[in-house]
């Protein structure tokens, strides 16, 4: 019903806009390599991210890629190498939102940094990779998008070159990332060997061909899971996360723990629903792969939460909490063996969207604390609310939302996840254990989240502090994230519709 | 849209106050809180509902809008008032305004944050009493916790951190039990398509749940009934789940105590009435005797605990346990006067306990001690405040022409002749004995603190109480006497909403 028929490739516009932003930043830098006009660079990145966000929202609202009678259906690009559907657009929105928030906050965080243009162009490139992960529909494009995300990320983690922690974190992240990339590629090659295809639908169609090589295919799938576990910071490739998040500049920690995790999950959702339809795959490899995710989900959320509860360093606590949340989202894959699998997956997607606001905001608050130079532990944060009540109120919103306390967004998404998992548990009782683990871990998580609120609001400061500055960019990003976290529950109706439809379309 | 307006005014007021300068925050919050107070009084005048909200009654100020779909269940923004919830909304707005006034003296740091949180709590409390969709109701219910946790934790006494976390953990775990039970019930009710409480109540009366996870329908209903009861019992609180209450009360600043005793405890009894006693008539009958026993134990044990205290605030705090026991007894009697009296007691206790906490706060502001043994003869120095305290104490004891008398009379009248509750006469007589202990500890404490020769162990100069404190005390006392003289002001609308539940049972 469009007045003008746009060319098909324009469906990739949200990702292309991010790529263009990176190129524009390169151009600025090559014209004047010595400029450190951070407002220009941050501004350009924000504009690019917001443009990407606007286009993605517009597409999603207009029904681009939606399946249904009045829509054109899923858009295939380059012979099915890329695909734009509602699932892709949903995650492009998440990536664009986080990128915009991070870019706004970085404006102040990197005020004395020498390599402004490099930072923002790497950020835009990584965001492009994440956006491409949402649309990749072949194991080749998946891997390219994965690397396009990873390589700039390594550099971003280590960008504070004079800071030992940052460099060390970058190296660890790089080594584990390289290992997991290798495992992922090996998995890709095994899948190719077994099915003779890389394009996801073609793999699904050729699963029978694997025949006697079922074991090989199973091993390949297991390795793919490993690569995904790295990107989403899930067990067993989670251990880089605390180190990398702690050492990285806080806005980059926010970026990696929110956007990169979401991108890893969209990849998992797409690969496992499209390439390895459950029944056909089980027939070939002899194992139901949802079991892997049931176990990973429970182990990941439990490990993340218990580790988070013992931390003294706020950033490490958030890093482990981020692992815990990956565990919650993994239920979205674990429940795919049941008829209500699409509902659970939709709920997991909503959780990632809400997480994009609340977790980004929380890390940006840590960024603000680093900007103030108050220290890193819970004790160092004591009594900050007397000096900066607005930022601390926002942080309280993030913490309670992460813990799943009403009326914040995190309650809504966890509730959806819980409620649908219970529904799914009627078909697969193992999911009852996952739902119980979700509730128990959520309750436990209140301990360490509220501990931070207590430090900020209730405890007295350990030592006298000078007056705290109010950097505009950081404050703007934190407040924006807090406002959305606080009111998003009101808008859950349409969000849930979009997410559930998007999930139903790929689950089929 | 009136209820939305009430909530919105309080919520926006909270945000404005939060960022206002400390200097003007108290007066600003007071001015803002007058708007919901006036609006709720107008609602009271314009009330045109009838019947019970969950039993097909005519709702006042109803509004409903679709919110989201969770699988097969729809959730909506659904608010409305009936004869049970309207008086509670009015109580909330009035007590919040008075709590703000009573904070002017004791709160001297981070004022804007304090008053912002009080207004936030007010908005959430109005939501709790007016929401008629479970999901929406639960959002408000839980959202009350956070500001109260902060109020106790930041502005409380020496052991405030312990008290705040204890309050938070107890009530939050209870909420979880309650939430899980109710969600299980909704899943078990096969033909329910929404979380709207009236629809669920109707489904419960027309056959009840089909069963879930291998539990039969009746077993599920019983499990859910117990789960909900435990969840709400902590909030009420009922012995043995009461231990968070004295800690929270003693450490909380006066205005938080007023809200805690005056309104937050009523959330528990209101929820018991709305859920357990409206949706599960069969289970009420089955479990009537144990519940009545717990109620009587709460009455007697709470009063005995109060008798053993030497801290004025602790005495008032434990007396709440005892008063809430009466509410439970009235509810489980399941007669018009029993349940109606219990609802009336919620309002009456809200006013009287607010009055008592406020008076104790005024005394503490002047003397800087709450220990009974530290002071005597205060009546000489602060005649009006002490006079109101004594009047409030008599209200507690159930002096005729005060609201406490009407409430307890209704409850005893209703429970004595209850047909549903076995041994109702014995339970009632035992509970009545509680009044003797109440009179005992209150008179004993008053005798030592306010009468006799003037003496104070601390070296503070004790003068007259500030005019604004005296004014709010007198407003509360006026309301207590008004409801005592003319209980029909609210009792008519309460019984109108109660009748469908007890089906016009005897008495």
Question: What integer pLDDT is reported at residue B92 of this predicted model?
Answer: 96
Question: What integer pLDDT is reported at residue A423 of this predicted model?
Answer: 84
**Closest chain B C-alpha to A407 CA, distance in angstroms:** 5
**Closest chain A C-alpha to B141 CA, distance in angstroms:** 8
Please identify which residue in the block is written with the tokens 């509410």.
B327
First to last CA, chain B: 37
Neighbours of A175 (CB within 10 A): 12
B11 to chain A, any CB pair closer than 8 A? The answer is no
Do residues B387 and B395 touch, judged by C-beta distance below 8 A?
no
**Coil/strand/helix, residue B414:** helix
- Cβ pairs A/B, distance under 8 A: 81
| Strand partners for B68 | B75
Do residues A4 and A96 touch, judged by C-beta distance below 8 A?
no
Question: What integer pLDDT is reported at residue A214 of this predicted model?
Answer: 84
| Strand partners for B194 | B74
Q: Which residues of chain A have a Cβ shorter than 8 Å from any chain B Cβ?
A: 340, 343, 385-386, 389-390, 393, 396, 400, 405-407, 411, 415-416, 419-420, 422-423, 432, 439, 443, 446, 450, 453-454, 457-459, 489-490, 492-493, 496-497
B425 to chain A, any CB pair closer than 8 A? The answer is no
Looking at beta carbons, which residues of chain B come within 8 Å of A406? 138-143
DSSP letters, B35-97, are HHHHHHHHHHHH---BS-TTTT-B-EEEEEEEEEEETTEEEEEEEEE-TTHHHHHHHHHHHHH
Residue A325 belongs to a domain? yes
Residue A280 belongs to a domain? no
Residue A426 belongs to a domain? yes
Looking at beta carbons, which residues of chain B come within 8 Å of A432? 213
Subunit contact A454:B161, Cβ cutoff 8 A: yes
**Closest chain A C-alpha to B89 CA, distance in angstroms:** 20
What is the total residue count of chain B? 507
What is the total residue count of chain A? 508
Closest of B230, B84, B225, B199 to residue B134, by C-alpha: B199
Asked if residue B359 has pLDDT above 50, the reply is yes
Q: What pTM does this model have?
A: 0.92
**Coil/strand/helix, residue B105:** coil
Looking at beta carbons, which residues of chain A come within 8 Å of B117? none
The encoded tokens of residue A161 equal: 């070159």
In whole angstroms, what is the distance from residue B262 CA to residue B144 CA? 14
Nearest CB to A450 within list B71, B140, B168: B168
Domain of residue A385 covers 289-508
Give the pLDDT band (50/70/90) at residue B6: very high
Residue A440 belongs to a domain? yes
Residue A383 belongs to a domain? yes
Q: Which residues contact B445 (CB under 8 A, 6 or more apart)?
A: B312, B315, B372
Asked if residue B507 has pLDDT above 70, the reply is no
Q: Which residues contact B351 (CB under 8 A, 6 or more apart)?
A: B91, B95, B262, B403, B476, B479, B480, B483
- Residue of chain A with shortest Cα separation from B69: A493
Subunit contact B142:A407, Cβ cutoff 8 A: yes
B158 to chain A, any CB pair closer than 8 A? The answer is no
| Strand partners for A206 | none
In whole angstroms, what is the distance from residue A448 CA to residue A304 CA? 12
Percent share of chain B, pLDDT over 70: 99
DSSP tag of B216: E
Report the number of distinct structural domains present in chain A: 1
Give the H or E element holding residue A82. Answer: strand A82-84
Looking at beta carbons, which residues of chain A come within 8 Å of B112? 389
Residue of B146, B152, B220 for testing the chain A interface, max A β-carbons within 10 Å? B146
Residue A397 belongs to a domain? yes
Subunit contact A458:B164, Cβ cutoff 8 A: yes
Subunit contact A458:B153, Cβ cutoff 8 A: yes
- Residue of chain A with shortest Cα separation from B127: A407
CA atoms within 13 A on the CB side of A103: 33
Nearest CB to A405 within list B146, B153, B183: B146
Give the H or E element holding residue A76. Answer: strand A75-77
Subunit contact A454:B154, Cβ cutoff 8 A: no
Subunit contact A446:B113, Cβ cutoff 8 A: no
- Round the average pLDDT of chain B to a whole number and report it: 90
ipTM: 0.88
Question: What integer pLDDT is reported at residue A4 of this predicted model?
Answer: 61
- Residue of chain A with shortest Cα separation from B160: A458
Looking at beta carbons, which residues of chain A come within 8 Å of B168? 450
Subunit contact B68:A492, Cβ cutoff 8 A: yes
**Tens of pLDDT, residue by residue, chain A (508 residues):** 455 667 888 889 999 999 999 999 999 888 988 877 888 999 999 999 999 999 999 998 888 877 765 666 788 888 889 999 999 999 999 999 999 999 999 999 988 888 888 899 999 999 999 999 999 999 999 999 999 999 999 999 999 988 888 999 999 999 999 999 999 999 999 999 999 899 999 999 988 877 778 888 999 999 999 999 998 999 888 889 999 999 999 999 999 999 999 999 999 999 999 999 888 888 888 888 999 999 999 999 999 999 999 999 999 999 999 999 999 999 999 999 998 899 999 999 999 999 999 999 999 999 999 999 998 999 999 999 989 999 999 999 999 999 998 889 999 999 999 989 988 888 888 898 999 999 899 988 988 999 999 999 998 888 888 888 999 999 999 999 999 999 999 888 889 888 988 999 888 7
- Degrees, nearest 5: CA angle B266-B271-B274: 125
Subunit contact B112:A416, Cβ cutoff 8 A: no
Residue of A408, A458, A497, A501 for testing the chain B interface, max B β-carbons within 10 Å? A458
DSSP tag of A460: P
Residue A130 belongs to a domain? no
Question: What integer pLDDT is reported at residue B505 of this predicted model?
Answer: 42
Asked if residue B69 has pLDDT above 90, the reply is no
Looking at beta carbons, which residues of chain B come within 8 Å of A395? none
pLDDT tens digits, B93-144: 999 999 999 999 898 889 999 999 999 999 999 999 999 999 999 999 999 9
- Residue of chain B with shortest Cα separation from A428: B213
In whole angstroms, what is the distance from residue A275 CA to residue A194 CA? 13
Residue A341 belongs to a domain? yes
In whole angstroms, what is the distance from residue A43 CA to residue A30 CA? 18
3-state helix, strand, coil in chain A (%, to 5): 80, 0, 20
Chain B window 62-121: which residues touch A at a Cβ cutoff of 8 Å?
A: 66-71, 110, 112-113
Subunit contact A423:B113, Cβ cutoff 8 A: no
B390 to chain A, any CB pair closer than 8 A? The answer is no
DSSP E strands in B211-284: the ranges are 211-212, 215-216
Looking at beta carbons, which residues of chain B come within 8 Å of A496? 68-70
């Amino acid at each position: 019903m469009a007045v003008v028929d746009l060319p098909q490739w324009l469906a990739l516009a949200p990702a292309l806009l991010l790529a263009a932003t990176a190129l524009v930043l390169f151009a600025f830098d090559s014209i004047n390599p010595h400029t450190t006009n951070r407002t220009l660079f941050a501004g350009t990145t924000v504009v690019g991210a917001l443009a990407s966000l606007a286009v993605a929202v517009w597409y999603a609202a207009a029904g681009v890629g939606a399946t249904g009678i009045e829509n054109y259906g899923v858009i295939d690009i380059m012979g099915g190498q890329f695909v734009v559907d509602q699932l892709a657009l949903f995650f492009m929105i998440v990536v664009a939102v986080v990128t915009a928030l991070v870019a706004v906050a970085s404006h102040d965080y990197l005020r004395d940094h020498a390599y402004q243009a490099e930072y923002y162009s790497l950020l835009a490139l990584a965001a492009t990779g994440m956006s491409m992960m949402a649309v990749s529909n072949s194991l080749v494009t998946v891997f390219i998008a994965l690397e396009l995300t990873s390589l700039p990320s390594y550099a971003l983690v280590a960008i504070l070159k004079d800071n030992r922690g940052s460099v060390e974190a970058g190296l660890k992240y790089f080594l584990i990332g390289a290992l997991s990339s290798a495992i992922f590629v090996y998995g890709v090659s095994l899948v190719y060997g077994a099915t003779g295809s890389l394009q996801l639908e073609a793999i699904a169609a050729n699963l029978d061909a694997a025949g006697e090589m079922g074991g090989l295919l199973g091993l390949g799938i297991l390795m793919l899971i490993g690569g995904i576990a790295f990107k989403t910071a899930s067990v067993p490739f989670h251990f880089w996360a605390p180190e990398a998040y702690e050492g990285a500049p806080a806005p980059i920690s926010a970026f990696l723990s929110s956007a990169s995790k979401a991108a890893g999950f969209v990849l998992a959702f797409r690969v496992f629903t499209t390439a390895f339809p459950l029944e056909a795959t089980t027939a070939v490899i002899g194992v139901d792969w949802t079991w892997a995710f049931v176990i990973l989900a429970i182990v990941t959320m439990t490990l993340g939460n218990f580790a988070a509860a013992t931390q003294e360093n706020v950033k490490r606590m958030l890093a482990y909490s981020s692992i815990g949340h990956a565990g919650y989202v993994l239920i979205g894959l674990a429940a795919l063996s049941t008829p209500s699998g699409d509902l659970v997956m939709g709920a997991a997607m909503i959780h990632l969207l809400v997480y994009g606001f609340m977790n980004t905001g929380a890390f940006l608050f840590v960024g603000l604390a680093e900007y103030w130079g108050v220290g890193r532990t819970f004790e160092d944060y004591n009594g900050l609310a007397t000096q900066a009540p607005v930022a601390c109120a926002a942080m309280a919103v993030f913490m309670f939302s992460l813990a799943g306390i009403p009326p914040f967004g995190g309650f809504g998404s966890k509730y959806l996840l819980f409620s649908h998992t219970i529904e799914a548990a009627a078909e697969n009782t193992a999911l009852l254990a996952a739902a119980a683990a979700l509730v128990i871990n959520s309750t436990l998580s209140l301990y360490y989240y509220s501990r931070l609120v207590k430090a900020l609001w209730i405890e007295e400061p350990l030592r006298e502090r000078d007056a705290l500055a109010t950097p505009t960019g950081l404050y703007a990003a934190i407040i924006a994230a807090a406002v959305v976290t606080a009111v998003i529950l009101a808008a859950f109706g349409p969000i849930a519709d979009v997410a559930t439809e998007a999930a139903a379309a790929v689950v089929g | 849209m009136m209820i939305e307006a009430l909530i919105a005014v309080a919520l926006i007021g909270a945000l404005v106050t939060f960022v206002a300068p400390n200097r003007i925050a108290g007066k600003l919050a007071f001015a803002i809180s007058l708007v919901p107070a006036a609006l709720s009084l107008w609602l009271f005048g314009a009330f045109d509902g009838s019947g019970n909200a969950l039993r097909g009654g005519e709702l006042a100020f109803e509004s409903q809008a679709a919110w989201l779909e969770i699988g097969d269940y729809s959730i909506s923004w659904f608010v409305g008032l009936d004869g049970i919830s309207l008086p509670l909304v009015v109580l909330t707005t009035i007590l919040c305004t008075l709590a703000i006034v009573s904070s002017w003296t004791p709160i001297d740091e981070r004022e804007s944050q304090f008053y912002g949180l009080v207004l936030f709590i007010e908005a959430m409390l109005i939501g709790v009493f007016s929401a008629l969709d479970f999901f929406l109701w639960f959002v408000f219910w839980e959202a009350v916790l956070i500001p109260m946790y902060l109020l106790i934790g930041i502005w409380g006494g020496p052991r405030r951190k312990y008290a705040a976390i204890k309050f938070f953990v107890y009530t939050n775990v209870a909420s979880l039990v309650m939430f899980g039970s109710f969600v299980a019930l909704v899943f078990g009710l096969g033909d329910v398509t929404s979380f709207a409480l009236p629809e669920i109540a109707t489904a419960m009366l027309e056959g009840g749940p089909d069963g879930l996870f291998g539990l039969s329908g009746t077993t599920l209903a019983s499990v859910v009934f117990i789960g909900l009861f435990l969840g709400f019992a902590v909030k009420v609180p009922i012995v043995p789940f009461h231990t968070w209450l004295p800690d929270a009360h003693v450490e909380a600043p006066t205005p938080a105590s007023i809200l805690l005793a005056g309104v937050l405890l009523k959330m528990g009894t209101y929820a018991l009435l709305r859920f357990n006693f409206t949706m599960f008539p069969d289970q009420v009958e089955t479990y009537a005797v144990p519940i009545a026993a717990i109620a009587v134990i709460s009455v007697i044990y709470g009063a005995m605990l109060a008798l053993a205290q030497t801290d004025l605030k602790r005495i008032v705090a434990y007396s709440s346990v005892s008063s809430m026991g009466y509410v439970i007894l009235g509810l489980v009697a399941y007669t018009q006067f029993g349940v109606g009296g219990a609802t009336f007691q919620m309002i009456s206790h809200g006013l009287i306990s607010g009055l008592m906490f406020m008076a104790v706060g005024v005394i503490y502001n002047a003397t800087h001690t709450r220990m009974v043994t530290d002071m005597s003869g205060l009546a000489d120095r602060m005649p009006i405040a002490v006079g109101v305290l004594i009047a409030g104490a008599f209200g507690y004891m159930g002096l005729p022409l005060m609201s406490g008398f009407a409430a307890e009379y209704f409850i005893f009248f209703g429970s004595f002749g209850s047909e549903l509750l076995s041994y109702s006469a014995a339970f009632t007589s035992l509970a009545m004995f509680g009044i003797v202990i109440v009179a005992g500890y209150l008179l004993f404490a008053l005798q030592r603190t306010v009468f006799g020769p003037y003496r104070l162990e601390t070296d503070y100069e004790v003068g007259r109480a500030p005019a604004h404190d005296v004014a709010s005390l007198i407003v509360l006392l006026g309301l207590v006497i008004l409801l005592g003289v003319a209980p029909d002001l609210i009792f008519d609308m309460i019984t109108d909403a109660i009748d469908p539940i007890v089906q016009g049972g005897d008495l």
